[in-house]
Amino acid sequence: MGSFTYVINDIGGCLIFLGQMFKTALVSRVRRSEVFEQIWKVTIQSLSTTALAGFFVGAIMTVQFTLQVKQFGALGFLGGLATSGTVREVGPLLIAFMLSGKVGAYTSAELGTMKVTEQIDAIRCLGANPFQEIIFPRFVGIIVSSFFLLVAGLAMSIFGGLLMGIVFSGITSQEYLRHIPTIVTGYSIVSGLFKCLVFAFVLAAVCTYKGYTASGGAKGVGNAVISTAVTTMVGLVIFDWLTSLISDSFLKVFY
């Protein structure tokens, strides 16, 4: 019962936090330079990690599909099947998990340190709005950069799958790429991009909220980072299910 109450309070606190942040964004002027600085900072810090993760996600999917389609003599469809599974479901989720540890933990620790050392309170005492000066630029920066990083990771996953198809499966690049346009439809791409956008929003919301609400000194910052990692991963799984449900419902209505 206590855990359930904690979860409900945490969800309510996050919603209030987001409402306050969006209200601040609507009534206050946010410096674009600060937003672009956060986008650049997050992207540069995480691009190599995301690209590497995406590469191996695609490679793993190719290996797994090879073991299945080889039994039916359908290696010609390997590229399309592996790419479709990666773009629609597995790729965005696994790459988002990597970003939650890289971007989420870093942002939570940064904001948590500013909170427990009273830097945020000092900004408020000087008459400035910490949401306008600190929180919202990071929130937007994480959403934009995470979406770009997830898309870049998916692109790398296609390359990783292609390379593994040549090395492990023994097919040519033409054979691997031939059926990708027929199996990976526009709907598959839109579904994958939709997941990337939702996952970026979840990551940004959780890490900024956990960092801003940290308390209790250095130990509190550590707890905020751990809570960010756990909450983000659980939230990503839940929203992965929700986005899949929405995408399937959309597919039934319009296709």
Report mean pLDDT in 10-residue bins for the chain, 255 residues.
71 86 78 84 87 88 83 78 83 84 87 88 83 86 89 88 85 84 81 88 91 86 89 90 80 58
Task: Quote the pLDDT of residue 254.
Answer: 57
Nearest partner of 138 among 251, 37, 238, judged by Cα: 37
Q: Determine if the pTM surpasses 0.85.
A: yes
pLDDT for the residue 206: 92
**The pLDDT of residue 253:** 60
Give the pLDDT of residue 202: 92
CB atoms within 10 A of CB 29: 7
Task: Please give the Cα distance from 249 to 247 (Å, whole number).
Answer: 5
Residue 104's pLDDT is 86
Q: Which sign does the torsion angle of CA 162, 168, 173, 175 carry?
A: negative
Q: What is the dihedral of CA 129, 121, 209, 22, to 10 degrees?
A: -10
Dihedral angle computed from the Cα positions of residues 202, 204, 208 and 209, in that order, rounded to the nearest 10 degrees:
-20
Amino acid at 140: V
